[in-house]
Structure 1
Amino acid sequence: MYINNVKFAKSAQKISGEINLGTVARIQEIGEFQGVVKYTLQGELDRLNRPTLVLSIYGIISALCQNCLQPLDISIENQTQITIFFNEDQLDAALFSESESDVVDGVLAEDEFDVMQLVEDEVIMLLPCAAKHDSCIGLSYHDEVESPFNVLKQII
């Protein structure tokens, strides 16, 4: 789905949808993630009257625990504000300036802005590097080897 992101923001449009992670090649390359993620993209003007997109993502993702290899459900919920800039200099200045900036994320103005690419990128950033059950986090599968210096430790 493609939009003109500036017109979308200025006219305060809103779209919602969902993506099935099992059908997204980029996500499947990262790991075996399954589930349906819902999103809402809302256009608005920020306090400085700049066109802005607000992307909300929520859903339950199924993955494999990296310790016990059993299924694990991960709840994700995130909202990101993305400011639209009209040239790369403005974008770079806002994102990489030394001074305090209220811009968290930014994109360039486009007549054909790919909404699904944006949603996929955001989901990828929310995926865990190594999914684990809370009960598995402390587990270690390394065999403990008795140190030959334990005898000396007892003598001292």
Structure 2
Amino acid sequence: MPFSDRLGATLHKAIRSIGSGSKRVATTIKRAARTIKCRLQTTDWDRLLRTTRIRITDQLRATLAWIKAHPYLTALLVACGVVAVVVPLAYGSVLGAAGFAAVGPVAGSWAAGTQAAIGSVAAGSVFAVLQSAAMGGYGVALFVAVVPALAAVVAGVVAGVAALLAWL
């Protein structure tokens, strides 16, 4: 029986025996600890590390070969990842730089000039959503949920299509 199965069975016995008294629990846990200690002492750590290093190196080589063979797909996947991570972190700074503030457009900013040109801002318009995000309203969802989710969907579709094409 593999180590993980024996360990799982031993821990399962320990959990079952909780109702039977603490002496049985202690005995079962001691037995599990001995099993773990024995397994740790008999493991060929040098061989395990060598094997792990070889597998990681092989995987890195395969990944680099795929990247070289598919530079545009790689760029698109990286861009999606960057968008998914950076947009939720940086949207406040970008909106602030454009002049959107928690109290409304900052006088003399791009946002103020745009609002002056638009006149009455329609609810649900791009400007209204951006101002809402700056104020912590419903527009925040666009930057912290919708944009990252769309980036993840695009990355997933691209990766799926690439995998399907490789399989065909």
Tell me if both proteins adopt one fold, taking TM over 0.5 as the criterion: no
Q: If the length of structure 1 is used for normalisation, what is the TM-score?
A: 0.25
Q: If the length of structure 2 is used for normalisation, what is the TM-score?
A: 0.24
**Where is the strand percentage greater, Structure 1 or Structure 2?**
1
**Where is the helix percentage greater, Structure 1 or Structure 2?**
2
From the CA coordinates, give the structure whose radius of gyration is larger. 2
